[in-house]
Structures are given as C-alpha cells and as structure tokens.
Structure 1
Amino acid sequence: MTDEYFHILNLMGVAFFAVAGTLLGYEKNIGGFGVVVVGSVTALGGGTLRDLLLNKPVFWVEGPDYLYTTYAAIIVAVLFIRYLPHVNNYYFLLVDAIGMAIFNIVGIEKSLLGGAGMIVAITMGTTTGIFGGLIRDVICREVPSVMRDEPYAAACVAGGLVYAALFLLEVHYLWCIVGSLIATIFLRLGSLHWGWRLQIFKKKKLSNENK
C-alpha cells in the first residue's frame, strides 16, 4: 500500500508542476512546442536530479506513465487557458505551491526508502521540490523564486521538519503526508499573501548617536 501511495503522490506532483510550467509559459507568451518544453522540464527536472543524486533509475525512464501524465496535464492546462476567461497569476502560484509540497514529500520518502538519514531526506525533498521550478524560471527569464527573499525553499524545509517530527513520533503514514503538505503550502502561500520575507543579510539601522 505504501508503494501505491508513493506512486500516486509522484504522479500528482508531476501533474501539478506540468500545469504550473504551462501557466508560466502562457504568462510569458511562450508559443508552440516551447510550452511543452517548459511544462516538461518543470514536471520532471526535480525528480530527475533527485534520482541521479540517489544513484537510482530516473523515474520517468523507468515508468513512462509519468511522461503520459506530464503531457496530459500540459494539454489540460492549455485547454483550461484557451476556454476559461481571466486566467491570472493566482492559478500559477497555487498550483506551483501544491506541486512543490508534493514533490518535497516524494523526495523525502524516496530518500528514506533508499536508506538515507532524515537530514539527507529533508535536503533531498527540498531539492526535488525546488529544482524543476528553478529551471522553469531560468528558461522563462524570471528571477528564480528560490533566489528571492520569499520563503520558497524554506517552505520545503519546514514541511520536511514537520514530516520528520511526525515520523519520529510514529504518527500514521498518511498524517505525516498531510502535515507536511499543510505546512509547506501554508508557508508558501502565506508568504505571498502577507508578504513574509527572509532577509538574511538585513542589517540593523544605526541610531544617530551611534553613527
């Protein structure tokens, strides 16, 4: 049953990220086959890097159903854009946050199943969650979200820590997933809604007396 859940989660992550890539391609006026490229890179990039680092068979080469899911999601997104009026950036941000949260979990679980420790698993989950979006943003000539002061990678880390805490408390498998999803999505969308920032190099302002 665990393998089935893992497979479904992976397919869901691929689908959400494929849609996110297609939506950003639309926003950047990318036409023709370029939309397929952006959607595919977004959906498959993070998982590909994860499998290479873990020395595992690349997931979409081993199971072509991930490619079918990617292309189907791109087609659905294109039809959504064409026939639904007023497609705005909100849809992209929502789908991207969900896809990132799912891939974060997939990266953690695949690492744990491969015998890695929890700190490696959290790092691999974050890598899986952000790398596809990083490539997508570079292709679309956007400043990558992970390079801004928004909690993007930090949202994945937070979700990973929640997963680790529940896992160590021996909470049921599904609640580990739900808890991680909620933490990651809430932090990511909350940062966009309320303007939360991670300004690591922000210096304190000196008073006139100390100048």
Structure 2
Amino acid sequence: MSQTLLPFVEVNTGENPQACVIWMHGLGDSGHGFAPIVPELKLPASLPVKFLFPHAPTRAVTINNNMQMPAWYDIKSLDFNSRADLTGVEESADSIKALFNAQLEAGFKPEKIILAGFSQGGVIAYHLGLRLFQRIGGIMALSTYMCEPDSLAQQASDANRSVPLFVAHGDQDPVVPPMLGQMAVDTLKQNGYQPEFHRYTMQHSVCLQELEDISAWLQQRLS
C-alpha cells in the first residue's frame, strides 16, 4: 500500500465479521475513547461486526493556544463558517479513505461499511462519506457539523446520493451548538438526502437512548 495506515483500536463482536464500522473520535480523544461503547450496543451474535477506531494524528490546535493534541484538523476560529481547517479535513479524509480501502482489500463489501464519527470525527465522516465513489452502508454523524457545506452540491458522489444517514445531536451541547447540527441536516435535505435526525436531552456526549437508536440503525443497515 502506498499510504501508511493510521493506527487504530479494533473490536470485533463475533468471529468472521462481514460488516465493518470505521468510527472517528473527537478532538483530544483517541480510538480508545469510543471502543468501550461496542458491548453497550448489544448487537446480536448473528451480526458479527468489526469496529475500527482510528487514532487522529497529533497536531497544534490554534484555539487551544496551539497545544499539541490528537485532532483530525486544526480549529483556527470558532466562527461557524471557518471552524474546520479544510486542508486538515481533506488530509484526514484521505487517511480514513486509505483505511476504508484496506477493508475493501480485506474482503468487506463497500455497502457493508459504515463511516461514523463524533464531533471532529463526524466532520470527517460527512466529508469523506458523501464524496466516496463506492456506495457505502451508511454515515453516522454524532454531535457534529459539516465542513464547507456550500461545496457539497458540486462535490457529492452520485454513488451515495441515497446513502442512509444517522444524525444525532444534544439539545444542550455547548461545544458544537445544536444550530450547527441542524444546519448540516438542512444542507443534506437541500441536496436531496434524507437524513434520520435524532435530538437528545444531553450536552456534548452520548446517552443511553442514543446508543439504543444507533444499535437499531446499525442492525437495520448491516443485516
């Protein structure tokens, strides 16, 4: 392979999985952050799934006084229109695409692969998943927003025009305001997508009801 793969945490829910979920963490976290969620999803034994939780590279984050931390991209401003550094987003999307391609080479069908992400990770899931030329199983965007929404109309892949989208956001999120999650959903609808939007009484986190809804959605998508 021409590109070195990102390191990741792997959790399998059973032997010989035929489906795969690539799940990106948020700013300052690592692949270890969401790995413990897998048992909480209570997926049936009849649906063995391979979960990959890649680690974002360490980089300086401008709004955090240039502190070095795991980040999928720099955040140079809290301004809604320029919050995500496009160069970093595209670099990370390429890294996740390499991981996605490695799963194809391992024998997974693209329609059995889900791209998922929380916060910064969700930005990458949106950016890559909507532009991939292979039809994938779905995109899961949790407590997140969209980078360069105005570019979607021109850059969207026809293969994923009807991709299943699970979008979730907390009504009390102080980190990624609910308005940004709603704006992403509005952009999706304006471009002909049909996102499934869930709102929860929570902050910038994941709640039990959300996990139950994610489990049901994954089973529907991957069975």
Given the two structures, how large is their TM-score scaled by the length of structure 1? 0.34
The structure whose residues are more often strand, as a share, is 2
Higher relative contact order structure (alpha carbons within 8 Å, sequence separation ≥ 6): 1
If each structure's helix is expressed as a fraction of its own residues, which one has the higher value? Answer: 1
Is the radius of gyration larger for structure 1 or structure 2?
A: 1
